[in-house]
């Protein structure tokens, strides 16, 4: 039987995020962690924020920090692994 898992990889935005955030490293770290736990990478997609309240909160933080920092949507990563029936 196959078990699936979706993980959100969060990134930073704003000036600080554009300087110090490395999306490739964040994805590699996430995949390495889950590979050690027995998960296999399946699919990655850029997570875009569709919630208006969260978007307003994101822009409010960006304005309050004078463009220095806000949270970014990041990525959604899908993993899978085989689980034995006798482990249940």
Domain membership of residue 88 (yes or no) is no
- For residue 30, which of 75, 70, 72 has the smallest C-alpha distance? 75
Query: Could you tell me the pTM of the whole model?
Result: 0.78
Question: What digits encode the pLDDT tens for the residues 68-84?
Answer: 999 888 999 999 999 88
For residue 19, give its domain range. Answer: 2-83
Q: 12 in a domain, yes or no?
A: yes
Q: For 37-64, how does the pLDDT look when each residue is reduced to its tens digit (9 = 90+)?
A: 999 999 999 888 778 998 899 999 999 9
Q: What total of structural domains would you count in the chain? A: 1
- Asked whether the beta carbons of 35 and 44 are under 8 A apart, the reply is no
- 45 part of a folded domain: yes
């Amino acid at each position: 039987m196959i078990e699936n898992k979706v993980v959100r990889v969060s990134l930073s935005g704003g000036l600080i995020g554009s300087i110090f955030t490395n999306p490739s490293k964040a994805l590699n770290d996430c995949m390495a962690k889950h590979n050690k736990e027995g998960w296999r990478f399946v699919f990655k997609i850029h997570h875009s924020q569709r919630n208006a309240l969260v978007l307003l909160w994101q822009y409010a933080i960006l304005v309050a920090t004078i463009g220095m920092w806000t949270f970014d949507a990041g990525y959604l990563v899908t993993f899978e692994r085989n689980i034995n029936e006798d482990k249940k």
